[in-house]
Amino acid sequence: MTAQNEQHGPAPVDAEYSATVLASHWIQRPGADETLVEPAAEERSTPPDRVEGTVLRFGPGVTATIAHRTHRMPAAAPPPAPRRRRLRRHALPVLVVFCVLALLAWQRLGQPLRVGAIAVTARPTALGCDGTARIVALVTTNGRPGTLSYRWVRSDGTTSGVLEEVMVRGQKRARLHLRWTFQGPGQHTALAELRILSANQRTASTRFTYACP
């Protein structure tokens, strides 16, 4: 017996031997009263939520409200107002400011020289022999700079040439002078008239008498 055992020796090891395969014979099979639950069936019993990209959420932990919120797309931002509408909205205030500034600039810089009241007086009002009358015209203006052009016209038929008075900014009064001399015997009622030729044309005059026996 011993010799026979030594003759045969240990059984050769199979090259395709697998412990896993052999162990599978010793796994206890479920009995007839045991129910084998298939994993796929358990997974199918809980339907997945909505798909967001490549993520799937399972189970009762995700409520319908959350699922709806995750699915809802963000509200689109309102489109920007057209460029033309924005320009139209700002055009009126800019125009008002521009008009006010233009009016102020015109009042300070652009308004031309204008003549107001004129008062002409003669001193003395009654001349004796070989006397000279001093005639003064007080001209008021609006204070704008410019040049007053004027001439004197006398009742004896003589007229001065065109004279000029330069007005500086802020000067609102100008005194214009005329000297009229009489000689020889006689009596005469004289009239001296001032005529403003530039700015707004105005005239003013005064009278005096000459008496020489």
Report the C-alpha gap between 80 and 82 in whole angstroms: 6
pLDDT of residue 52: 45
Structural domain count, the chain: 3
If asked whether residues 107 and 134 sit together in one domain, one would say: no
Query: Using the 8-state DSSP alphabet, how is residue 83 labeled?
Result: H
Give the residue carrying structure tokens 């004129």: 118
Measured between alpha carbons, how far is 137 from 119 in angstroms, rounded to an integer? Answer: 6
Give a yes or no: residue 44 inside a domain: yes
Q: Look up the CATH number of the domain holding residue 133.
A: 2.60.40.10
Same domain, 66 and 48: yes
123 and 161 housed in the same domain: yes
Residue 6 lies in a domain: no
Is residue 3 situated within a structural domain? no
Same domain, 59 and 102: no
Task: From first to last of the 213 residues of the chain, give the pLDDT tens digit.
Answer: 444 444 444 444 454 444 444 444 444 554 444 444 444 444 455 555 444 444 445 455 545 554 455 445 555 666 655 666 666 777 777 888 878 887 766 656 667 899 999 999 999 999 999 999 999 999 999 999 999 999 999 999 999 999 999 999 999 999 999 999 999 999 999 999 999 998 789 999 999 999 999
122 and 106 share one domain: no
CB count, 10 Å around CB of 9?
7
Tell me if 28 is assigned to some domain.
no
Both tokens assigned to 199: 């700015």
Q: Quote the domain boundaries for residue 96.
A: 82-111
User: Can you tell me the distance from the alpha carbon of 18 to that of 28, in angstroms, rounded to the nearest whole number?
Assistant: 19
> Closest Cα partner for 170 from 208, 142, 204?
142
- Give domain status of residue 8, yes or no: no
Dihedral angle sign, alpha carbons of residues 28, 31, 35, 36: positive
Two tokens at 75? 């509200």
**196 contacts: CB under 8 Å, gap ≥ 6:** 115, 118, 139, 148, 149, 150, 202, 203
Residue matched to tokens 């609102």: 172
What torsion, rounded to 10 degrees, do the Cα atoms 68, 70, 72, 76 define? 160
137 and 89 inside one domain: no
